[in-house]
Amino acid sequence: MTKNVFPWIAIAIGFLLILGLYLSGAFTTPEETALPLLTVLFMSELGAVVCAGGAFFATQTWLKQRGDMASLVAILLATVEAIVLLGIGIMIWHHNIPA
């Protein structure tokens, strides 16, 4: 796997994790989720790290090849997915852990 391919794999993994979190009921009340809390948190944080890595490698590729539009799209998609997954993890942590 090269540095040019990893951002697209990271985007696909991030999309699948967001879809899995949505289908597991992570956005509902804690009593209605299909997966345990730590599993859902692990999925969101793993996806955020993988997508951040994808954005990093896509940025390196874009800096080497300034006219590469595919790298720019990969940067944007991976960054948005990383932010979304991090936000999901924070939301789940905030709503499931008593203060």
Nearest 5 degrees, angle CA 20-CA 25-CA 27? 100
Mean pLDDT of 67-91: 93
Its sign, for the CA torsion 55, 48, 34, 29, is: negative
Mean pLDDT of 67-75: 90
Q: Which one has a higher pLDDT value, 29 or 75?
A: 75
pLDDT of residue 93: 85
Q: Cβ distance 53 to 14 under 8 Å?
A: no
| Phi, psi dihedral angles at 65 (to 5 degrees) | -125, 85
pLDDT in tens, 5-49: 999 999 999 999 999 999 988 777 767 778 888 889 999 999 999
How close are the terminal C-alpha atoms of the chain, in Å?
44
Q: pTM higher than 0.85, yes or no?
A: yes
